[in-house]
Amino acid sequence: MGIRLAQAQGRPAMHDENINHSFLDGVLTGEHADVYYHFGVASDDPVLEEFRDVRAIILAGSGDRIDDFARRWSAQHDGAAIVALPKEERFVTRYCAGVLFASHGMGMPSASIAVQELMRMVFFLKGGDPGAMSEVFWARVGTSGGVGLPGGTVVVSTQGVMADLKPYRLLQGGSGEYWFDSTFPRSVADAIEAASRGSGIPIELGRTVAGNEFFLEQFRLDGAICMETPESKMEWLEWINAEGVRNIEMEGAMLAGYLNHWGFPSFAMICTTLLNRLEGDQVTASHDELDSFSERSGDVLFNYLTATLG
């Protein structure tokens, strides 16, 4: 189906002009395979046939979390088979009942590799059909530092920004920067919140800072290297708080920037806060508390997936 047909049917079209057709079209015609190197699979591997019906891509930092999510989704779908890609050196991948679960490691450099290879995989799996690609839902589920929120609050992001509150960008060599629109679709964030209303889980919507570093770009005073004073740290935290930032993590601005670039209409980020950064830097919650905090973002994701995919 072409872009015009998708538009005529009221479905948002992808930004076809931003898709790297010079490389990707040859994968569809069989001129060459696409090697998703970090996932240890290529487009001509028969295992990918099992992923064709993918309707959602769920990302998380840790491989163990991905394995747990896939088992939970399988249990919810009469024990549906879980397909695992054998390479787990970089990212852990599981496919089960229409959902591809994949880890992305920590930080935007690592997660950008996972996201770019998965975007290429979606292009291949959906035969380059913009209508079919636009129906794939993406979400990152993770942990974060809260801004003015206690540990255990789930934040659904409305916009990913960098530490200067500007959108995601990368160096374009010495000649400037590539800028990306790193907003998250508000209607999806609202629907995620609605799917967990009444669950008792504290949920907030707001902007999210994606730091390139856990310590320096998050204004911590407990790193091996510290460039801030207690005063400059609080000045930054109070500024971002006043500007509507509710949490700080390390991937969201890139995730939203890349998915918007191709025009995916449906994606989200759901992160539990582990601490309130206005009160400290170190994560001091107990193991059990951290488990229960993390469980909440998983519950919010599953409530939404169940409401939308069944």
214 scored as a contact of ligand URA (CB under 6 A) = yes
218 scored as a contact of ligand URA (CB under 6 A) = yes
Tell me the Cα Rg of the chain. 19
148 scored as a contact of ligand URA (CB under 6 A) = no
Nearest-CB residue to ligand URA? 145
Q: Which two tokens stand for residue 262?
A: 């191709």
122 scored as a contact of ligand URA (CB under 6 A) = no
d(CA 188, CA 142): 17
Q: Which stretch binds ligand URA (CB under 6 A): 127-135, 138-146, 181-189, 255-263?
A: 138-146
274 scored as a contact of ligand URA (CB under 6 A) = yes
128 scored as a contact of ligand URA (CB under 6 A) = no
d(CA 174, CA 282): 37
d(CA 109, CA 63): 17
d(CA 152, CA 290): 8
**In the complex, least distance from residue 107 CB atom to ligand URA, rounded to whole angstroms:** 9
303 scored as a contact of ligand URA (CB under 6 A) = no
**In the complex, least distance from residue 163 CB atom to ligand URA, rounded to whole angstroms:** 11
Q: 101 pairs with which residues across the strands? A: 58, 94
The only residue of 14, 139, 250, 255 in contact with ligand URA, by rule CB under 6 A: 250
The DSSP-derived string for 85-99 is: -S--SS--EEEETTE
143 scored as a contact of ligand URA (CB under 6 A) = yes
Give the dihedral of Cα atoms 189, 193, 196, 198; nearest 10 deg: -170
**In the complex, least distance from residue 150 CB atom to ligand URA, rounded to whole angstroms:** 13
Q: Whose Cβ is closer to ligand URA: residue 16's or residue 238's?
A: 238
Q: Whose Cβ is closer to ligand URA: residue 34's or residue 249's?
A: 249
**In the complex, least distance from residue 145 CB atom to ligand URA, rounded to whole angstroms:** 3
Q: Whose Cβ is closer to ligand URA: residue 9's or residue 286's?
A: 286
User: Closest by alpha carbon to 300, among 84, 115, 142?
Assistant: 142
User: Closest by alpha carbon to 293, among 281, 276, 279?
Assistant: 276
144 scored as a contact of ligand URA (CB under 6 A) = yes
Matching residue, tokens 């856990």 = 214
Number of residues that bind ligand URA (CB under 6 A): 9
User: Closest by alpha carbon to 114, among 85, 134, 79?
Assistant: 85
Q: Which stretch binds ligand URA (CB under 6 A): 18-26, 73-81, 186-194, 246-254?
A: 246-254
145 scored as a contact of ligand URA (CB under 6 A) = yes
Q: Whose Cβ is closer to ligand URA: residue 134's or residue 144's?
A: 144
Helices (H), 204-251: 230-242
Sign of CA dihedral 183, 189, 274, 241: positive
Residues that bind ligand URA (CB under 6 A): 143-145, 214, 218, 248-250, 274
